[in-house]
């Protein structure tokens, strides 16, 4: 089976719009991501519909709660048959251990990854919440905890990928949002990189939302990105 490197973020307020966009894409070219906005509006039924159309789904709900609650939420995600699910590393090692253990005997075990520092955040945002460290310092620390807990990978920016690749090894999955083709608007993202540069830096998968979903021709936008990636796809 092919292993598409692009994960399209379906950030829409309702199922109908998300399905219409998915209809214009190709499961052989990309996976899709269902995040908080769409899942809150449309729920597991929408995940099921995307899977029926052949898409593998990254359920991006960033679970961050006490260990038991997070573990049970991960189990519920696995029961939906999703390809990937995530927790937030700021929930700590005990929470990540519980999440991994909860999935150990799942019939269909999704990849379990942890968000490190959101790609929208810069150093001043961390200072604003009392963390006197830079993303370049915090991300390796949180990725180390996720790695020690036996998680499959992390969400980070592509800017941290070279360091994490060395720290956590080849098999560790680095999922990177904040991807912007040259000249595309950064929007609310802070730590960004172009698609090809991100893969060269060591990203495993690229999460791309608005540059594709808001384009006049989303399939064309995806294909342009895949052409830029070329032999790295
Ligand atoms: O650190 C993170 C974690 C998750 N995201 C999600 O990725 C997409 C990015 O969308 P764009 O439109 O390409 O900016 C979005 O769904 C975020 O919730 C992230 O950006 N950063």
Give the span between the Cα atoms of 33 and 23, in whole angstroms. Answer: 14
Decide: pTM greater than 0.90: yes
Chain-centroid distance, C-alpha 157:
10
Q: Counting every residue, how long is the chain?
A: 233
Tokens of 132: 């006197």
35 C-beta closer than 6 A to ligand 1: yes
135 C-beta closer than 6 A to ligand 1: no
Tell me the ipTM for this assembly. 0.99
| Average model confidence (pLDDT) across the chain | 97
32 C-beta closer than 6 A to ligand 1: no
For residue 1, the model assigns a pLDDT of 58
Give me the average pLDDT of each 10-residue run along the chain (233 residues): 93 98 98 98 98 98 98 98 98 98 97 98 98 98 98 98 98 98 97 98 98 98 97 81
Strand partners, 63: 87
Is 33 annotated as contributing to ligand binding? yes
Task: Tell me which of 6, 7, 8, 9 to substitute to probe ligand 1's pocket, judged by most ligand atoms within 8 Å of the beta carbon.
Answer: 9
**How many CA atoms lie within 13 Å of 145's alpha carbon, on the beta-carbon side?**
20
Alpha helices for 61-203 (secondary structure H): 67-79, 93-103, 123-128, 135-148, 161-168, 195-201
């Amino acid at each position: 089976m092919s292993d598409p490197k692009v994960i399209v973020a379906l950030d829409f307020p309702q199922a109908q719009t998300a399905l219409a966009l998915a209809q214009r894409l190709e499961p052989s070219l990309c996976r899709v991501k269902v995040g908080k906005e769409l899942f809150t509006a449309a729920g597991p039924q929408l995940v099921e519909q995307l899977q029926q159309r052949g898409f593998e789904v990254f359920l991006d709900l960033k679970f961050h709660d006490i260990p038991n609650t997070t573990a049970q939420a991960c189990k519920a995600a696995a029961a939906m048959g999703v390809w990937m699910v995530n927790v937030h590393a700021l929930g700590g090692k005990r929470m990540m251990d519980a999440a991994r253990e909860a999935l150990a005997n799942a019939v269909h075990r999704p990849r379990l990854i942890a968000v490190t520092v959101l790609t929208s955040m810069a150093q001043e945002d961390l200072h604003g919440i009392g963390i006197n460290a830079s993303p370049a310092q915090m991300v390796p620390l949180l990725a180390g905890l996720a790695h020690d807990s036996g998680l499959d990978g992390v969400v980070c920016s592509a800017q941290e990928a070279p360091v994490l690749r060395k720290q956590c090894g080849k098999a560790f999955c680095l999922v990177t949002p904040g991807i912007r083709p040259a000249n595309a608007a950064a929007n609310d993202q802070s730590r960004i990189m172009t698609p090809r540069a991100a893969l060269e830096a060591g990203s495993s998968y690229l999460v791309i939302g608005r540059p594709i979903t808001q384009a006049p021709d989303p399939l064309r936008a995806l294909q342009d990105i895949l052409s830029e990636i070329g032999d790295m796809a």
